[in-house]
Structure 1
């Protein structure tokens, strides 16, 4: 079988029973189940949620996005083999660890297939919750230009690229375009301060001011849990993005949870520990792919300058990347997932057919 056939690139065309449009993001697609199917599954599967909870099927793909573009490869490679299964396996592992250590739940109720989550509907907190333990990436680029304040936090002079910060920094930004918040520009992914959040907590979907401190606590604790576990396999947890939301518990009370994905090579920077101690930065995350793209194209500014988005989209559409580049990303993701979980990532011959069979026969969600 052709390796390209094992890639799940299109994940928004599954015949799952739904009466709402399929929401397709850069990597995942979400199918909202009918009210009847949600109620039936909650009862049949014994999910620990109120009986009227809205459920969705979330299907991950093997697509790879970087710089807000989807990239493809030669020989029909429309994604990265094993990427979707690796990302889900890593997130599942951390979510279970968070719950076991008493941090908070996630939105996942069931895992029918390595590419599939059954999730409960959450109201997202409109913040990209970013934690940084080292100065690198966009923060370093701004620091070199003379910026010293990040999200209301003052950094000292004299910091060195890729060095460990004296404390874990929380540098939140907006999730999506938020209108009408004083002092917060109505553009996607803009840095915000804690005071911005406090003064406008409801606009960010927090239920109370007190929940800001809870989100910060869960952010720090989640980072520490992952950082400690990664250190055990000699990996450095550099920075990461968390997302939070509210769901109803079994008694109908609001509960703040982790959602989306956590601690993956897509949402984090992770460095090889031995190499870092030797003075080298070796990326075990998507950052390595980003750096390859920046070095590969003659005009890197297209990838970094948001004002050149049309050129960037054209660049991604018009350039099929070498297969060995995508296979290097595949090896990075699969190796990391297997180290973290202690289990093999098996490449399915036909993931879409497997998903359809399981959702039809075990969940009765496909006619």
Structure 2
């Protein structure tokens, strides 16, 4: 077995029974089950969802993206060993913690394999719910240029880079392209204010203005829970992105839930506490990979300048990264996952074969 064999890079070609196209994102692929299989699993496995709810099998990969490109390594290693299992394990841990604390449910119904979720279809709220506890990254760059208004919130003068903010800041942006909202450009990932959301709650797919308050409450409570638990591990929860959606339970109740992923190195910045107290920032998140790329290539402007996207795509396509770069990233992901969950991240010898086997034997979803 080679190291490349442990990496699940292509995850949209599994023989899972479906009558819809497989939706493949940068990291996850979604297999929508047939209506018959969805109804069968709901009945057989007792999921707390409507009897006719659409279900899907979501398979995470070990692919790694940064600067809007997918990157590869030497020796056919088209991803980072253990990355997918680490992301799933962290999300599973936080989703379960939220549920135990009475915050809200998630879209996950069952976890058949470390790389697989069985999920229910949610009706997403069209907001990337971003919360920031420290000023860093893109926010710092804007602040350093003189910007003080962030999503309608005024930030005081005199802050230093990587400093803790006076309070948790919610800086939402649009999820997808939304048409016809006054003052909001029809573009993906546009910063918006709370007033934009309240005034146009239906356009953002909220059911009521009260649910805008609820999303903020769940965002703050979820952030605070993760931040407190990470602090116990001497880790700092710097900023993160949450996503929300609606589902209907077996009794017909519509609920706002957490969805996508939460508190992971892909969706969050996590810093080492001891290093921060010494005046250094040591990342335990995807930012490690971004910085490795910036230092690896002689012309980092290609990665930073959106007017050079053709060159950037060529860079990712034509360059196999050294194995040690990807293994350093692997150590970051699996290391923080093991800190958070308290158990080692399982790395499969042949992940695709394992997934096919369990979905055939236990779920009858492979012909």
TM-score range, shorter chain: over 0.9
Change (3 A) 1:288 1:298: same
Distance between the aligned counterparts of 1:33 and 1:196, measured in 2? 36
1:304 to partner: Cα distance:
2.7
The within-5 A match list for 1:62-141 is 62-141=62-141
Partner residue, 1:144:
144
Change (3 A) 1:311 1:186: farther
Question: Is the partner of 2:98 in helix, strand or coil?
Answer: helix
1:179 to partner: Cα distance:
1.9
Question: Is the partner of 2:73 in helix, strand or coil?
Answer: coil
Question: Is the partner of 1:186 in helix, strand or coil?
Answer: coil
State the superposition RMSD in angstroms. 1.0
Q: Deviations over 1:59-79 (max 9, x none)?
A: 000000111111111111100
Query: 1:225 aligned to 2:225?
Result: yes
Q: Deviations over 1:51-102 (max 9, x none)?
A: 1111000000000011111111111110000000000000000000000000
Question: Is the partner of 2:52 in helix, strand or coil?
Answer: coil
Distance between the aligned counterparts of 1:199 and 1:298, measured in 2? 47
- Deviates further, 297-306 or 27-36: 297-306
CA contact (8 A) 2:114 2:346 kept: no
1:344 to partner: Cα distance:
1.2
1:322 to partner: Cα distance:
1.1
1:172 to partner: Cα distance:
0.5
Partner residue, 2:267:
267
1:17 to partner: Cα distance:
0.4
Partner residue, 2:239:
239
Question: How many residues were matched structurally?
Answer: 367
Query: 1:327 aligned to 2:327?
Result: yes
Distance between the aligned counterparts of 2:104 and 2:301, measured in 1? 40
Distance between the aligned counterparts of 2:222 and 2:313, measured in 1? 34
1:155 to partner: Cα distance:
0.9
Query: 1:29 aligned to 2:40?
Result: no
1:243 to partner: Cα distance:
0.5
1:302 to partner: Cα distance:
2.7
- Deviates further, 195-204 or 263-272: 195-204
Contiguous gaps of at least 5 residues in structure 2: none
CA contact (8 A) 2:55 2:120 kept: yes
Query: 1:359 aligned to 2:367?
Result: no
Q: Deviations over 1:170-221 (max 9, x none)?
A: 0001112222221111121111111111111111111111110000000000
Query: 1:315 aligned to 2:315?
Result: yes
Distance between the aligned counterparts of 1:33 and 1:319, measured in 2? 37
* TM-score, normalised by the number of residues in structure 2: 0.98
1:296 to partner: Cα distance:
2.6
Distance between the aligned counterparts of 2:338 and 2:241, measured in 1? 21
Change (3 A) 1:189 1:301: farther
Partner residue, 2:201:
201
Contiguous gaps of at least 5 residues in structure 1: none
Distance between the aligned counterparts of 1:100 and 1:173, measured in 2? 29
* TM-score, normalised by the number of residues in structure 1: 0.98
1:309 to partner: Cα distance:
2.6
Distance between the aligned counterparts of 1:172 and 1:308, measured in 2? 27
The within-5 A match list for 1:40-55 is 40-55=40-55
CA contact (8 A) 2:88 2:115 kept: yes
Distance between the aligned counterparts of 2:307 and 2:117, measured in 1? 36
Question: Is the partner of 2:76 in helix, strand or coil?
Answer: coil
